[in-house]
Amino acid sequence: MTWKDTLCAVIVVFAWGFNFVVVKVGVTEIPPLLLTALRFAVVAALVVPFTRRPRGKLWLIALMALLLGAGHFGLLFIALRKMDAASASIAVQLTVPFSAVVAAFFYGEKLGRRGFLGMTLAYLGVALLAGEPHHPDPIALAMAVGCSVAWALANVVIKSIGAINPLTLTGWMALMGLPQLLMLSLLFESNQMESLQGAGWRGWGAVAYTAVGASLIGYSLWCRLITRYPVNKVVPFTLLNPIVGVASGVLLLGEPLGWHKLAGGALTLVGVAVIQIRSPGIFGKAGARLRLRTEAHER
């Protein structure tokens, strides 16, 4: 990779890893489902007017919006209200072993010994997080794990959608997920108007960062990389995301860093590395590239 593209990869890693801290701060001022809806609204407003409607694929995009909007982002943002950003950034890495299970179920791909080893290590790592002295709320941790399952299932839907411009998919997914999130916010949250009126630069900054920084800029740079280089040259950069997430949470939010978190994070990352770097990837060569697009898209 050229030094410019390497710099792009580092920028993306920091943008996505730092996103956990931004969301953690944002949900202290704006309810999590409403914050997710605002993020989707900004993305849709910036993308949809400049793209064509993806005919014949809207129902699949609506399903993807349900899995990624309410399922992934909704659960993750709710979880971050009651757990630290560092633990959440590690727990979300379970998307990779869950994706391996989904691929085995839907596509008949064999996990193999390395696959099972990686899954076992990743699950043990998150189990260590649950046993930490400053452990997160068990319901919040379960939600973080659940958001990883939703992300893994969304991979299958995106694979079914087929060829489509990544930004078009991002914008229309955001547009179709927006009504779902607003409805869920009305049903399960309260004082939305009061929170919006009282939100300061932290709340609105979180909306802007998650929509523009993490989604549009991060995704565009990542697509540039995965279209220029082999997957095995780009994949290892994703292993840095939780490292940035943990460091950001500890340094900026003062979150505790005990041996449970260090050991759990290390086990999870080793397990994810075993699964990701094994050839040819979760969905084969084409699917591995697609999965990377999905990872970038959902952030």
State which amino acid sits at residue 167: L
Residue 58: per-residue pLDDT: 86
> Considering Cα of 137, then 118, then 73, then 13, what sign does the dihedral take?
positive
Mean pLDDT of 70-94: 88
Residue 232: per-residue pLDDT: 58
Residue 155: per-residue pLDDT: 75
Q: Note the pLDDT tens digit of each residue in 215-241.
A: 888 877 776 776 677 655 766 677 788
Residue 220: per-residue pLDDT: 73
- Tokens found for residue 8: 């792009």
Mean pLDDT of 50-77: 88
Residue 165: per-residue pLDDT: 77
159: confidence class by pLDDT, cuts 50, 70, 90: confident
pLDDT score of 290 more than 50: no
Give the CA radius of gyration of the chain: 18
Do residues 66 and 177 lie in contact, with contact meaning Cβ atoms separated by under 8 Å?
yes
Mean pLDDT of the chain: 81
| DSSP-assigned states of every residue in 188-239 | H---HHHHHHH--HHHHHHHHIIIIIIIIIHHHHHHHHHHHS-HHHHHHHHT
DSSP secondary-structure letter at 31?
-
pLDDT score of 141 more than 80: yes
Nearest-5° Cα angle at 77, 68 to 216: 55
- Tokens found for residue 224: 């540039």
Q: Which of 87-96, 110-119, 152-161 has the lowest mean pLDDT?
A: 110-119
- Tokens found for residue 47: 């993308």
Mean pLDDT of 39-68: 89
Residues 230-253: b if buried by 16+ CB within 10 A, e if exposed: ebeebbebbbbbbbbbbbbbbeee
Q: Which of 117-126, 138-147, 192-201, 271-280 has the lowest mean pLDDT?
A: 271-280
Element containing residue 37 per DSSP (H, E): helix 32-47
Q: Rounded to 10 degrees, what is the CA torsion of 137, 139, 145, 151?
A: -120
pLDDT score of 27 more than 90: yes
- Tokens found for residue 17: 């890893």
53: confidence class by pLDDT, cuts 50, 70, 90: confident
Cα distance between residue 39 and residue 26, in whole Å: 11
Q: Note the pLDDT tens digit of each residue in 258-277.
A: 777 778 778 777 877 777 66
- Tokens found for residue 254: 């003062």
Q: Phi first, then psi: what are they for 27, rounded to 5°? A: -75, -5
Q: Note the pLDDT tens digit of each residue in 240-254.
A: 888 888 888 888 888
Q: Which of 68-77, 130-139, 159-168 has the lowest mean pLDDT?
A: 130-139
Q: Note the pLDDT tens digit of each residue in 162-192.
A: 777 778 888 898 999 999 999 999 999 989 9
Residue 30: per-residue pLDDT: 95
45: confidence class by pLDDT, cuts 50, 70, 90: very high
Q: Phi first, then psi: what are they for 282, rounded to 5°? A: -65, -40
Do residues 65 and 171 lie in contact, with contact meaning Cβ atoms separated by under 8 Å?
no
pLDDT score of 34 more than 90: yes
Q: For residue 208, what are the CA distances in angstroms to 41, 179, 264?
A: 11, 19, 32
pLDDT score of 66 more than 80: yes
Closest Cα partner for 230 from 1, 9, 12? 1
- Can you say how many angstroms the Cα of residue 246 is from the centroid of all Cα atoms in its chain? 15
41: confidence class by pLDDT, cuts 50, 70, 90: very high
Residue 22: per-residue pLDDT: 94
Nearest-5° Cα angle at 19, 254 to 30: 85
